[in-house]
Structure 1
């Protein structure tokens, strides 16, 4: 899932974002009977269309206003959603979900047909869903997604109003996580047809089946509210009356708002973390997310040269950047797949797949490799465009990377810090030379990262292409899907291939130190996916 380089990212971007305990008494929510939570994002919402959501901001909102067959719960384990229970056939290819009675926010019943319609809409090519690939194990997906087969042929069907049956083309052990994501949410066809291209373009142009409903969002504004959805099937256990959001991308402003009680949380930047690391309100939110550089091979031919890509990586001191610039608990990466994310028999995936040359700092070697690659192009100098978010963390990454790369012979770097939604648009359209990008795992499996860099993945913005890599990922998803050991080896070898060929340049593994008011309870945080769930939160 795309991260903003500020806080959320990643994902969240990584919000490049003693003393405070007494501030809670100043909050506008200090009354125990006023169930209002005040939250912050560092970027506004790019879209609320479940089929088109690709980022941590929109998915965070969607996770609270909509609900799929299952939901992510504590310890990243799935729990019932619209489906009260489910079963899987012995061959792992048929998944049957039995639905509870539930309603949309307008009172319409949520039925099995809503899931069929939503999945078909995500899969069909005219929707242009970048997350459609999450359904690639569903029978006939590839043919439907390429327009070679009608959406009605997708392997999902409704048996009456309360049963959804999904047929997979091959087993997928983590499919239970896929059905909890926005791309697999139900969609009310009546509402989608009513608004057409304007569906979900504002909070009023959609209906919701989750714990909350979105209000006050015009499509471009920096404030919105999640209001309790009284039509939700479990509304009696939703304690908050609303969650007020506002966009703040200045760290000092954010801290001032927190200290004055106007907001209930803050993701700290490095300086703030140092000052408040002993606060009782501090929570370290470790995130399964990595920030990295995409190098656009279609726009800049030099990036087709592995020496150029390696030079870019070796010119950047990731340890110095994370320790002395971010200084917020984030750590230098060993690869793309984060440390302490996936383990097998006590072995960390990141350790098993480690390639030293993929992330090490060696400026002397970087200069040699860049000079060789530049000479091969027939040029003596060149200028590259670096695109990042205009968030505090994004600007830190921009400044550091620009300075580091400018030390390479004959290279000038021009930095462009742009709003998160603009950065997403430029990434999708290939309007960059170097892009500070970020990803938070959608589910607790290495494939959530590995699948990004196959030659046909829409998130492979740099257009890196490696047949060996494609084959290894395909094997993990295909012939070795049911063999735990072989699948592990496939994905470890794929990560090694990515780092050996320097398909992307890892920058840092995100950590988010958060101050959360002591009066706030029950907020669920997940290292993967949408990260925040307010359905069990309350103020006391």
Structure 2
């Protein structure tokens, strides 16, 4: 992350998503450790609706789940696909079997994360009873379409765990972009014990989820406009997460967020077109666009 982030203002229509900004925090070089701000005051333009990885339908929820969880792959700098929880991948010659070897990692409660957590999470997402609107993304995996359409059990999905750290996915057809899909929350692992324990409350509050990513979400309940992202000490790459706390708030208008930015209560703000025009010569002005 830019070590001068607290001086940065972003244009609303072209802003890099918060997920990429926090991802940059976790990938900061060790040489910049001393100059990285240890806490940030940050904003989103809308509320979180759920922290259930199977269910997000809005960018606010999805971005916060991405900041507090992780799948097999992630997007790094310049939107380059890179390995996250996967150590290695093997694709069969016919492209119909992919084998992933997982790195050792833990949930935020210290419990080991295993390949079975991916199996459980994927089967839960494609199960129509879960209510995910994105089960169709699994199309191409054996039996996925039939499961989503209610014609087969979710237990027949073409994914299995072999031991603790090997995940094998079987396809009915080639899906060349499959690794890109694995960056989406719907393909994240889910802790079965937590889902069963919290039941219908799962994902409705930061108290009712587990995290496996660089941050844990704290002090969020459904409908609230503030929360915290706190460094997850059990994250496999915690040594490279330099920012300790991100204080989040929902700011729906750029006039309010800019006032808070000027009062040093926010470390960055989106700008509307008029604000951007007036501030484009300001040394704190930066234009970020997706790579």
Secondary structure, aligned partner of 1:46: coil
> What's 1:237 paired with?
240
Matches within 5 A, 1:40-59: 40-59=43-62
Displacement after TM superposition at 1:128 (Å): 1.4
Task: Assess, with a 3 A threshold, how the Cα gap between structure 1 residues 212 and 12 changes in structure 2: closer, same or farther.
Answer: closer
Secondary structure, aligned partner of 2:119: helix
> What's 1:120 paired with?
123
Displacement after TM superposition at 1:279 (Å): 2.6
**1 or 2 for the larger relative contact order (CA 8 Å, sep ≥6)?**
2
The size of the alignment, in residue pairs, is 266
Looking at structure 2, the residues matched to 244 and 168 of structure 1 have their Cα atoms a distance apart, in angstroms, of 42
> What's 1:366 paired with?
none
Displacement after TM superposition at 1:188 (Å): 0.1
Matches within 5 A, 1:157-196: 157-196=160-199
Taking structure 2 as the reference length, the TM-score comes to 0.86
Query: In 2, are the aligned partners of 1:11 and 1:57 still within 8 Å (CA)?
Result: no
Secondary structure, aligned partner of 1:186: coil
- Does 1:198 pair with 2:198? no
- Does 1:136 pair with 2:139? yes
> What's 1:85 paired with?
88
Any unmatched runs of 5+ in structure 1? 1-5, 14-30, 288-526, 528-540
1:343-369 deviation digits (Å, cap 9, x = unpaired)? xxxxxxxxxxxxxxxxxxxxxxxxxxx
Taking structure 1 as the reference length, the TM-score comes to 0.47
> What's 2:278 paired with?
275
Query: In 2, are the aligned partners of 1:9 and 1:56 still within 8 Å (CA)?
Result: no
Displacement after TM superposition at 1:53 (Å): 0.8
Query: Which one has the largest radius of gyration?
Result: 1
Task: Assess, with a 3 A threshold, how the Cα gap between structure 1 residues 211 and 12 changes in structure 2: closer, same or farther.
Answer: closer
Any unmatched runs of 5+ in structure 2? 1-10, 19-33
Task: Assess, with a 3 A threshold, how the Cα gap between structure 1 residues 12 and 98 changes in structure 2: closer, same or farther.
Answer: closer
Query: In 2, are the aligned partners of 1:47 and 1:53 still within 8 Å (CA)?
Result: yes
Query: In 1, are the aligned partners of 2:71 and 2:185 still within 8 Å (CA)?
Result: yes
> What's 2:265 paired with?
262
Displacement after TM superposition at 1:33 (Å): 7.5
Looking at structure 2, the residues matched to 140 and 33 of structure 1 have their Cα atoms a distance apart, in angstroms, of 47
| CA RMSD, Structure 1 to Structure 2 (Å) | 2.1
Query: In 2, are the aligned partners of 1:12 and 1:57 still within 8 Å (CA)?
Result: no
Structure 1: which 4+ aligned runs deviate by more than 4 Å?
A: 6-13, 31-34
